[in-house]
Amino acid sequence: MDYRELKFPKDSLFLVTGGAGFVGSNLCEAILEMGYHVRCLDNLSTGHIENIESFRGNDCFEFIKGDIKKYDTCDMACEGVDYVLHQAAWGSVPRSIEMPVFYAANNIMGTVNMLEAARQNKVKKFVYASSSSVYGDEPNLPKQEGREGNRLSPYAVTKYECEEYAKQYTMHYGLDTYGMRYFNVFGRRQDPNGAYAAVIPKFLKKLLQGEAPTINGDGSQSRDFTYIDNVIEANLKACLAPSSAAGQAFNIAYGGREYLNDIYRSLNIVLDVNIKPKYGPNRPGDIKHSLADISKAREMLGYEPEWSFELGIKAAIEWYKQNL
């Protein structure tokens, strides 16, 4: 089912935190296309104003430049809101190892501020971004909710703690919370720049420029790469999920497995180049393999991802060709 067919009450107002970022701006765009109202909260620390520039003239769109570390800002942003899609966070496993205190303040306290503001403003549903990094060193595949290992980075700890706080807000205050454990999301508007950029946009940018990208490790790592439209579907379906599913976290992925070396070879073929990659050291805190069991999200949220890796990578390549 196409997420555009989902129905919400007329004049529904969605708050998207981190709405100028990669996932957030795609959520804003999808909700506006469906005819609902969007309020975007972002401090533009990692998001880009260019991602939301095309929405600024839309009467159904409102932008607040503000920081989730400030409770008053969160409270103001939640006023009159029906659904919160909380995407604001600092990503990157290696960067979190360098900046643990900042990550705790931004990701954990920022999320608690948003949960409290949503509760006080009687928001219907609170859907938030978690991460597959919460599985840590748990070796079994596929990754299954309730079977987590030791977290391997401060980033992973922040995401796990956010899940625990969200569970408390459902348990004690009746706020319907739904955690989206994203697995390696990719697609349009994902930033290819910077030391901590995700692997697919980084590969594409370098190859389109005729340069050799660096693969961390030997390239034998595997990932459950998840196209952005699957993530949009999951967030919107969570907003319509029953309260019986609240207080839980769900794997949001396609349920497939791709190896970095294979992806790199495929991109060379599709782009009609033959550029040998450089290989660098493994990144600290990275998980070797990931593959998601998505049966819980399928059963409890009605999540049915339609975008395979093959379909998604074709769409992503076309976008980067036109926008890099």
Average pLDDT over residues 199-222: 92
Average pLDDT over residues 268-276: 92
From 36, 155, 182, 227, the catalytic residue? 155
Say which CATH topology domain 12-187+227-256+292-306 has: Rossmann fold (3.40.50)
Residues with Cβ within 8 Å of 101's Cβ and at least 6 positions away in sequence, in order, are: none
Question: Using CA atoms, how far apart are residues 5 and 206, in angstroms rounded to an integer?
Answer: 37
pTM: predicted TM-score of the whole model, two decimal places: 0.96
Q: Which two tokens stand for residue 321?
A: 């060709």
Q: Domain extents for the chain?
A: 12-187+227-256+292-306
Query: How much is the pLDDT for 292?
Result: 97
Mean of per-residue pLDDT scores for the chain: 95
Residue 48 pLDDT exceeds 90: yes
Note the helical H segments in 44-109: 71-77, 93-98, 100-103
178 has catalytic annotation: no
The pLDDT tens digits for 59-83 are 999 999 999 999 999 999 999 999 9
Q: Please calculate the CA angle 111-109-77 and round it to the nearest 5 degrees.
A: 50
Q: Is the peptide bond before 94 cis (omega within 30 degrees of 0)?
A: no
Which of 90-94, 247-251, 301-305 has the weakest average pLDDT?
Answer: 90-94
* Residue whose C-alpha is closest to residue 203's, from 287, 263, 117: 263
Residue 195 pLDDT exceeds 80: no
pLDDT classification of 50: cutoffs 50, 70, 90? very high
